[in-house]
Structure 1
Amino acid sequence: MKTLTLLRHAKSGWDDPVARDFDRALNARGKRGAAQIGQYLADHGLVYDYILASPAVRVTQTLDCLASNYTLAVSPEWERRIYLASAATLLELVAALPDSANNVLLVGHNPGLEDLVLMLVPVGADAQDAQPSLRDAVEIKFPTASLAELQVDCATWAEFPALPATLSRFVRPRDLDPSLGPDESD
């Protein structure tokens, strides 16, 4: 069994002008949202043996804020190709993950992350107790700082993209603290 958890970076600020989108930082709400997700990870005992992340500032800051309530078991591997990657590019990166890792956290950007969930998870492949459908919720919106956990019964990451995934978890910051969303720009 391989588990791939996708984390979208937390809410970034548009008020602070930067020369490049890559350098955009988190805003206060984003920092709170990432910390809430970190607390959720800690409370549920989720541990990752491999972390692959975009080196964009808003991703590095998301991981920093996450770590305020959660201990990362491993240091992230920074991968520039995740920055604004398509689902197809993300699939290539997933297929190349080391098979020694069973629980991977991939931290990046939309629309690639949302598209990846919808590509890998067939309609009706949610965890059995998911009501309403987690996949439907992702299809409506994969907000900033949201977490989606996909599981595939396979032995290697090369097999992962070819098999149907089960969406076993979809957590948004607003699920943990209603003051964290939504607004039109999420």
Structure 2
Amino acid sequence: MTRLILLRHAKSSWSDPALPDHDRPLNARGRQAAKQMADALVSRNYLPDTIICSTALRARRTLAPLLYLLDGTVQLTITRALYDAQAEHYPEIIAAAARKAGTPKTMLLIGHNFAIQDAALVFANGDDTKSFKALKNKFPSGAAAVLEFETNLTEVSANSARLVDYLRPRDL
């Protein structure tokens, strides 16, 4: 059994309209949500051994509070591919990172909507749970979908995961 955590970056700032999209930081609410989400992931024992993060500043700032809580043995990849990717690119990105890391047990992917939500919906075998309905309805900034696969992460595919948790900052 392997686990994939799909985390959307926390709420970003639009205070400087001249700033390129890629360079937008988190706003105050986003910084608080990133810290809350890091604490929630650790308290639920969703500890990644591999992390793939978008190069966008808001994604890297979402990651920062979690890095301080991990033990330092995490395989970290920061890639522009997640900034530009659509959901259909996620299996390839995940498989490549999994091969590089040597078949991780838990991978955290920090990216952007709508790719994050779409990927979670593609991977999860749609069920009638409250969590799946909430995920389908909206994937807000800072939210995380926790998926479990029977296969290793080099073989992720549509409808091959079970949604085991859906965390939103407002619920923490």
TM-score between both structures, scaled by the size of structure 2: 0.89
Q: Which runs of 5+ in 2 are unaligned?
A: none
Deviates more, 1:97-106 or 1:46-55: 97-106
- C-alpha distance in 1, partners of 2:46/2:126? 25
Q: Distance in 1 between matches of 2:86 and 2:169?
A: 24
Mapped contact 1:150–1:165 kept (Cα < 8 A): yes
Query: Where is the strand percentage greater, Structure 1 or Structure 2?
Result: 2
Asked if the contact 1:49–1:103 (Cα under 8 Å) also holds between the matched residues in 2, the reply is yes
Count of paired positions: 168
Higher fraction of helix: 2
1:112 to 109, 112, 115: 115
- 1:49 to 1:87, Cα distance in 2 relative to 1, 3 A: same
Alpha-carbon distance change, 71 to 95 in structure 1, aligned in 2, over 3 angstroms? closer
Confirm or deny: 8 A CA contact 2:53 2:59 kept in the other structure.
yes
Residue 8 of structure 1 deviates from its aligned partner by 0.5
How big is the shift at 1:135? Answer: 1.3
1:23-172 equivalences under 5 Å are 23-67=23-67, 70-71=69-70, 73=72, 74=74, 76-96=76-96, 97-98=98-99, 99-124=102-127, 132-154=129-151, 156-161=152-157, 164-172=160-168
User: What SS does structure 1 have at the residue aligned with 2:12?
Assistant: coil
Letter in 2 for 1:167: L
CA RMSD in angstroms, aligned pairs only: 1.8
Segments of structure 1 that go 5 or more residues without pairing to the other structure are 127-131, 177-186
**TM-aligned CA deviation for residue 46 of structure 1:** 2.3
| CA gap 1:116/1:63 in 2 versus in 1, 3 angstroms | same
% same residue: 37
1:68-95 deviation per Cα after TM superposition (whole angstroms, max 9, x unaligned): 6x33642521111100411011121122
Mapped to 2, the partners of 1:30 and 1:104 lie a distance apart of 22
Post-superposition shift, 1:67? 4.0
TM-score normalised according to structure 1 size: 0.83
CA distance in 1, matches of 2:115, 2:71: 24
Show structure 1 runs of 4+ deviating over 6 A. none
Q: Which has the higher contact order (CA 8 A, sep 6+)?
A: 2
Residue 103 of structure 2 contacts residue 153 of structure 2 at CA under 8 Å; is this kept in 1? Answer: no
